[in-house]
Amino acid sequence: MQMGKQHTSCAPGKLALMSDSQGRRPNEIGPTGKQVSANLHRLRTTRGLTVRELARRLTDNHGRSWTPGAVSRVESGQRRVDADDLMALALALNVAPTALLLPPDAEGETQITGAAGPLPSAHVWRWADGQWPLTWSTDPEELRRQLMDFHLTSRPAGLAPYHSADDAAEKMRLLRKTPFD
């Protein structure tokens, strides 16, 4: 895909993929899994749920057979969460799945699995929310095309994006957290 004159990411340098040769063992829990662990503990305790109550909700109400020990192992980073578990946890806690995947605020930076380095948390939230991509061109016309493509492929048919490509490009420029700085 042609990226226009200059391709820029929301973090210094290019958004690069992390390889397993960069220090992670293939089955080790990565930064997103660690965020899920921390968020699960935070959300469970905020809701006033014990590990036993959350395990019961998952088993009885959401079709996932969990024990209190399984909840504790996820919270301590000793157990991975698959996509089905993540959705059931979000339902049991009455939150969006992104509330488990991403940091609880949009300030600062966050590390996500697959990215070579930390990224601004606000950009990661907007990306995960389908508002705009993590990388973009500094060329206004190419940026508009990238946003249109992102909106078409990142959101379900029949659900409009939050902003038109032109509005999103303008908001990106106004937030001064873009290559337009």
pLDDT for residue 19: 46
Answer whether CATH 3.10.129.10 is correct for domain 31-101.
Answer: no
pLDDT for residue 151: 86
pTM to 2 decimals?
Answer: 0.77
Position 3 pLDDT exceeds 50: no
Higher pLDDT, 170 or 145: 145
- Domain regions of the chain by residue span: 7-11+111-174, 31-101
23 confidence band (pLDDT: 50, 70, 90): low
Convert the pLDDT of each residue in 81-110 to its tens digit: 999 999 999 999 999 999 999 999 999 999
Position 162 pLDDT exceeds 90: no
pLDDT for residue 178: 46
Position 45 pLDDT exceeds 80: yes
pLDDT for residue 115: 92
Taking the C-alpha atoms of residue 129 and residue 89, their distance in angstroms, rounded to an integer, is 18
Convert the pLDDT of each residue in 49-84 to its tens digit: 999 999 999 999 999 999 999 999 999 999 999 999
Considering the chain, what percentage of its residues have pLDDT values greater than 70? 77
pLDDT for residue 25: 59
Q: Which range has the top average pLDDT, 16-25, 88-97, 164-173?
A: 88-97
Average pLDDT, the chain: 83
**What is the SS3 string spanning the chain?**
CCCCCCEEECCCCCCCECCHHHCCCCCCCCHHHHHHHHHHHHHHHHCCCCHHHHHHHHHHHHCCCCCHHHHHHHHCCCCCCCHHHHHHHHHHHCCCHHHHHCCCCCCCEECCCCECCCEEHHHHHHHHCCCCCCEEECCHHHHHHHHHHHHHHHCCCCCCCCCCHHHHHHHHHHCCCCCCC
**Range of lowest pLDDT (30-34, 45-49, 84-88, 170-174):** 170-174
Taking the C-alpha atoms of residue 89 and residue 83, their distance in angstroms, rounded to an integer, is 10
